[in-house]
Amino acid sequence: MSTVTTSPGQAATAPSAPPRRRLDWRLRFAALSLIWGFSFLLIKVGTGGYAPFQVTLGRLVFGTAVLAAAMAVRRERLPRGARVWGHLAVAAFLLNALPFSLFAYAELTIPSALAGICNATSPLWGMALSLVALSEDRPTRVRVAGLGLGFLGVLTVLGAWQGFHGLDATGTALALLASLSYPIGWIYVRRTLAGTGHSHLSMTGAQLLLATVQLAVVTPLFTTLPTRVSVVPLLAIAALGALGTGLAVLLQYGLVAEVGPTTAQMVTYFTPVIATAAGVALLGETLTWSTPVGAVIVLTGAALTQMRPKPRPAPQP
């Protein structure tokens, strides 16, 4: 459920000074895994009372409020420059407005557990796209094998051998498109916003603000005001935004600053496990054997695609 302007290991802006550490990084890592894992359950609950666009708009409003408060505490300002804001508007669409909306629509017809597993394919899409879009990202046999293994896992999750029986094709496709949107956004940011000199918090605060504006324009065009206020779905949306979007970003940046992007990105592999467990335990969702087996294959393939060759030692004079 990435909401940031950079992909793991790819910094688009100058890092901000790390804050004081109050909790061990392992506890914050576990908290981030839980927050993002439960996000898919919260989306499901939210769409039980509100339209998908309304869920996404509410999520962005609460998430932006958290980052605005963090910026006020740290006395950071929004970035300046029409060029920066123009690129951030595209990033906001690709990394927030579009994938958040697609997941919300997808979960109208597919289980939250399946949506969480589809989200785990993002590193696979990213590796495939980087081979085309990023000339410096050279393929290796291990990474190509991981890509093939990962998509084999996707076919296993979907039950391809039985004709995808029992799955909603449209909802599944929307969830996969949402996961594809993230690496497209990461590559765009890497090409357009690298070296701007602004802090991560400032850039992401502006990005979420722009995404909120985008949804505020779109939502009234495709939805009507709810006839009644559904309390539980509304609380789910508030938690989704404040925790799954706002607090999660702050936790992620803290982890990257402290333990590095390689360790921080490992949260990706815990998210679908937690999403599946939450969906089954709390929402009563059912799984066939192919779903957890396929998820393990997907995560293994995704892990392989993130492996980089060891740098060769410099020749001795």
* Residues 255-268: tens digit of each pLDDT: 887 887 767 777 88
In a domain, 163, yes or no: yes
Per-residue confidence (pLDDT) for residue 149, from 0 to 100: 87
> Which residues, at least 6 apart from 315, have a Cβ–Cβ distance to it below 8 Å?
none
**Spatial contact of 49 and 233, defined as CB atoms under 8 Å apart:** yes
Tell me, yes or no, whether 238 lies in a domain. Answer: yes
Q: How sure is the predictor about 14, in pLDDT bands with cuts at 50, 70 and 90?
A: very low
Give the integer Cα–Cα distance in Å for 62 and 237: 8
- Answer whether residue 257 is part of any domain: yes
- With tokens 């360790």, the residue in question is 263
Q: Is 197 among the domain residues?
A: yes
Which pTM value belongs to this model? 0.86
What confidence score (pLDDT) does residue 290 get?
A: 79
User: Considering the domain boundaries, does residue 3 fall inside one?
Assistant: no
Residue 306 one-letter amino acid: Q
Domain contains 2? no
* Rounded CA separation 250/243 (Å): 10
pLDDT digits (tens, 9 = 90+) for 104-114: 999 999 999 99
Segment 263-305, tens digit of pLDDT: 777 788 888 889 999 999 999 998 778 788 888 888 888 888 7
Provide the domain count of the chain.
Answer: 1
Model confidence band, residue 62 (pLDDT cutoffs 50, 70, 90)? very high
pLDDT band for 10, please (50, 70, 90 cuts): very low
- Residue 165's pLDDT is 63
Helix (H) / strand (E) element for 84: namely helix 82-92
Q: Which of 306, 312, 267, 261 is nearest to 147 (CA)?
A: 306
Q: 110: which DSSP letter?
A: S
Query: Does 315 map to a domain?
Result: no
What is the spatial distance between Cα 181 and Cα 150, in angstroms, rounded to a whole number? 17
Percent of the chain with pLDDT over 70: 85
* DSSP characters over 240-268: HHIIIIIIHHHHHHHHHHHH-HHHHTTHH
How much is the pLDDT for 307?
Answer: 73
Confidence of residue 173 (pLDDT cuts 50, 70, 90): very high
Longest Cα–Cα distance in the chain: 77
Q: What is the pLDDT of residues 99-153, one digit of tens each?
A: 999 999 999 999 999 999 899 888 888 888 877 766 556 667 887 888 888 888 8
DSSP 161: G
Task: Grade residue 13 by pLDDT with cuts at 50, 70 and 90.
Answer: very low
Q: Which domain holds residue 181?
A: 25-306
Structural domain contains residue 245 = yes
Q: Is pLDDT at 167 greater than 50 in this prediction?
A: yes
